[in-house]
């Protein structure tokens, strides 16, 4: 009965406040030593949409992406100011458990980086350290579900004991996505997830992003303009450490408001 | 490239867009002169030249096919976005519209032999003025296209009403003319179609101007009310 009530309350809350942002960044600045890499970025990340960050190299988009799960904590000299909230809670608060945060806000990198372990272990590792499965049978379920959601299950179900590094590049990347999914994240950050893949593997990743949409808030950094146009509903254009323009993807790519956005996406930049 | 801040990093892209725009400019010039020539041979009752005008329309058809081929190639190979995308889409539509304008000119030219066999009807004198207006709209719409000039495009849109007014008045006088003397019906009916063609040419120039406006600004020009009143004019009210 409790569950029922909770579900109904949650439904009512969603009805009352459509599209409450999953993550909210306000005036986020990042310094690497004396250099200001990010100059006050404010943006909302929506729960049920894919947000693409685009911009030339060095524009701050990856730096900002890394702020969203405090990956910049590991960079020496990096200093982050401003506020970023996840479901309204400040992720830079001293009480925030960073390990927990990174489970809730997962990350997929440009180069597939599976552990040099079996396919099964690659997916099971996260749930195990987070204590998400007590029994082997529970873990089996998590592994299968994660691999299915990552669109990899049918390709690997008969060789789960094989090394993750023996898979093709595209499969490795989907394995990394399965690994991120396994700890039941709420947000998935992707930093150029398909730039090292061939067009077929890229299409599979893009299809996967579309399938995952709605279940997770997804933020993707990409240099491929048409990829951003294909996979995202919201696009943010970064330039020289500032957020120049943020809006509906269809609008940004057909009728951007800012001249700098237009010049960049039409290939007139620099 | 340094001279033009609007240039693409990949210069071949600029060249392809420029080639396509040049082709559209040529098409527009040809369509405009086809309209003027068609009405010229009509007024001079020059049956031989009328056939030549009609035959020249084929050139516009070929140019339209070429423009479409180039536009499709650019979309496939360059993946244009933002104003480039709007530009290419507008260009494809404009080439199609120009081809239609050519068809109307051809249609006028093809009526010349028939009209030359009948005594001239008085309301014909309105046609050259109306043609001047419609042809100027075509020329200015294409100028607006060439210079991405949204203001000139708006100006063209506003002028459409004057062509409509010419058409309305011609419609009325032709009705009266036909009622007064049934011998004039054949010539008057042909003239009515010619006037309608010119009125449609004005509409098409307006459509081009709307495309140009959209391509240049990213916004649609607001819908204007059409001022074709002839749908409600009857023989009785024509008196």
pLDDT tens digits for range B189-231: 999 999 999 999 999 999 999 999 999 998 888 765 556 677 7
Is it the case that residue A270 has pLDDT exceeding 70? no
Question: Using the beta-carbon criterion (under 8 Å), do B83 and A229 form an inter-chain contact?
Answer: no
pLDDT at B234 over 90: no
The whole-number pLDDT of residue A14 equals 41
DSSP A85-102: EETTEETTSTT--HHHHH
A164, A115 contact by CB (below 8 A): yes
Whether B218 and chain A come into contact, CB under 8 Å, resolves to yes
Mean pLDDT computed over A77-90: 95
pLDDT of residue B120: 85
Question: What sections of A42-168 are H helices per DSSP?
Answer: 61-67, 98-104, 119-129, 136-149, 153-156
Q: Mean pLDDT score of chain B, rounded to an integer?
A: 91
Q: What is the mean pLDDT of residues A158-178?
A: 95
Q: How far apart are CA B45 and CA A142, in angstroms?
A: 87
Residue B77 at interface with chain A, using a CB cutoff of 8 Å:
no
pLDDT tens digit string along A195-214?
Answer: 888 898 899 899 999 999 98
In the structure encoding, which two tokens stand for residue B142, read together?
A: 């294409």
pLDDT per residue as tens digits for the range B17-58:
999 999 999 999 999 999 999 999 999 999 999 999 999 999
Distance CA B206, CA B239 (A): 31
CB contact under 8 A, B81 and A229: yes
Distance in angstroms (rounded) separating the CA atoms of residues B189 and B199? 15
Helix B11-44 and helix B185-217, axial crossing angle in degrees, nearest 10: 160
Q: Is A270 on the interface with B (CB under 8 A)?
A: yes
Task: Compute the distance between CA of residue B96 and CA of residue B105 in angstroms, rounded to an integer.
Answer: 15
Per-residue model confidence (pLDDT) at position A9: 40
Look at residue B142 in the predicted model and tell me its pLDDT.
97
Interface test with B, best of A224, A226, A252, A255 (most B CBs within 10 A): A255
Helices (H), chain B: 11-44, 47-78, 82-110, 112-116, 126-146, 150-180, 185-217, 235-238
- Please give the pLDDT value at position A268: 87
pLDDT tens digits, A89-127: 999 999 999 999 999 999 999 999 999 999 999 999 999
Q: How many degrees, rounded to 5, is the angle at CA B141 between CA B45 and CA B25?
A: 80
Residue of B7, B80, B218 with shortest CB distance to A255: B218
Neighbours of B167 (CB within 10 A): 25
C-alpha torsion A85→A86→A92→A95, nearest 10? 120
Does the beta carbon of B84 lie under 8 angstroms from any beta carbon of chain A? yes
The separation between CA A206 and the C-alpha centre of its own chain, rounded to angstroms, equals: 13
Element (H, E) at A37: strand A35-45
Average pLDDT over residues B129-143: 97
Percentage of chain A surpassing pLDDT 70? 93
Answer for the pair A174, A208: CB distance below 8 angstroms, yes or no.
Answer: yes
Contact of B80 with chain A, judged by CB distance below 8 Å, is answered with yes
Residue of A195, A237, A229 lying closest to A56 (CA atoms) = A237
Could you tell me if B57 lies within 8 Å of chain A, comparing CB atoms?
A: no
State whether residue B118 is helix, strand or coil.
coil
**CA dist., res. B165 & res. B175, Å (int):** 15
Q: Answer whether residue B111 shows pLDDT above 90.
A: yes
Q: Extract the tokens encoding A236.
A: 């943010």
Give the distance from residue A237's alpha carbon to the nearest chain B alpha carbon, in angstroms: 14
Q: B137: helix, coil or strand?
A: helix
Strand duo A50-54 + A35-45: pairing: unpaired
Per-residue pLDDT, A18: 56
Query: ipTM score here?
Result: 0.71
Position A19 confidence tier, pLDDT thresholds 50, 70, 90: low
Residue A205: in which H helix or E strand, if any?
Answer: helix A199-212
Q: Which helix (H) or strand (E) holds A263?
A: helix A259-265
Taken in order B126, B230, B152, B103, is the CA torsion positive or negative? negative
Mean pLDDT of A51-61: 94
- DSSP code, position B197: H
Out of B13, B82, B219, closest to residue A262 by CB: B82
A67-81 average pLDDT score: 92
What's the average model confidence in pLDDT over A62-67? 95
The pTM is what?
0.80
Q: Which residue among B6, B7, B82 sits closest to A254, beta carbon to beta carbon?
A: B82
Interface of A with B in 207-226 (CB under 8 A): 225-226
Residue B4's closest chain A neighbor by CA?
Answer: A268
pLDDT at A16 over 60: no
Which residues in chain A have Cβ-Cβ distances shorter than 8 Å to B7?
Answer: 268
Place of tokens 């058409």: B167
CB contact under 8 A, A266 and B7: no
Percent above pLDDT 90 for chain B: 77
Q: What single DSSP character describes residue A270?
A: -
């Amino acid at each position: 009965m409790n569950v029922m009530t909770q579900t109904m309350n949650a439904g009512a809350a969603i009805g009352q406040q459509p599209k409450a942002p999953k993550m909210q960044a306000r005036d986020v600045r990042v310094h690497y030593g004396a250099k200001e890499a990010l100059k006050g970025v404010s943006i909302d990340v929506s729960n049920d949409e894919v947000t693409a960050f685009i911009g030339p190299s060095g524009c701050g988009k990856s730096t900002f992406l890394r702020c969203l799960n405090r990956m910049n904590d590991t960079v020496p000299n990096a200093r982050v100011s401003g506020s970023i909230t996840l479901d309204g809670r400040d992720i830079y608060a001293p009480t925030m458990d960073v390990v927990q945060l990174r489970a809730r806000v997962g990350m997929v990198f440009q180069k597939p980086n599976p552990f040099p372990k079996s396919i099964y272990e690659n997916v099971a590792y996260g749930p195990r350290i987070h204590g998400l499965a007590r029994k082997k049978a529970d873990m089996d379920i998590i592994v299968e579900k994660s691999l299915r959601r990552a669109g990899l299950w049918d390709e690997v179900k008969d060789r789960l004991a094989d090394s993750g590094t023996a898979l093709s590049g595209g499969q490795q990347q989907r394995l990394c996505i399965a690994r991120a999914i396994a700890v039941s994240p709420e947000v998935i950050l992707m930093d150029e997830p398909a730039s090292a893949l061939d067009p077929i593997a890229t299409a599979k990743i893009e299809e996967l992003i579309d399938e995952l949409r709605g279940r997770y808030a997804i933020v993707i950094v990409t240099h491929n303009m048409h990829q951003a146009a294909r996979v995202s509903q919201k696009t943010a254009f970064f330039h020289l450490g500032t957020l120049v323009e943020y809006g509906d993807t269809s609008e940004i790519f057909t009728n951007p408001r800012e001249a700098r956005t237009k010049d960049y996406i039409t290939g007139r930049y620099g | 490239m340094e001279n033009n801040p609007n240039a693409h990093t990949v210069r071949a892209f600029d060249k392809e867009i420029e080639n396509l725009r040049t082709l559209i400019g040529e098409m527009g010039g040809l369509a405009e002169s086809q309209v003027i020539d068609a009405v010229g041979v009509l007024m001079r009752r020059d049956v031989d030249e009328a056939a030549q005008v009609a035959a020249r329309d084929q050139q516009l058809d070929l140019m339209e096919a070429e423009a479409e081929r180039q536009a499709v190639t650019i979309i496939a190979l360059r993946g244009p976005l933002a104003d480039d995308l709007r530009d290419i889409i507008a260009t494809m539509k404009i080439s199609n519209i120009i081809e239609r304008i050519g068809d109307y000119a051809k249609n006028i030219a093809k009526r010349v032999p028939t009209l030359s066999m009948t005594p001239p009807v008085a309301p014909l004198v309105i046609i050259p003025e109306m043609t001047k207006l419609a042809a100027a709209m075509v020329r200015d719409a294409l100028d607006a296209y060439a210079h991405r000039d949204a203001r000139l495009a708006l100006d063209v849109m506003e002028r459409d009403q004057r062509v409509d007014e010419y058409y309305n008045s011609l419609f009325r006088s032709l009705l009266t003319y036909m009622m007064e003397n049934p011998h004039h019906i054949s010539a008057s009916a042909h003239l009515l179609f010619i006037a309608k063609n010119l009125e449609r040419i004005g509409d098409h120039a307006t459509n081009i101007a709307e495309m140009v406006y959209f391509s240049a600004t990213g916004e649609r020009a607001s819908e204007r009310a059409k001022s074709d009143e002839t749908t409600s004019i009857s023989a009785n009210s024509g008196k």
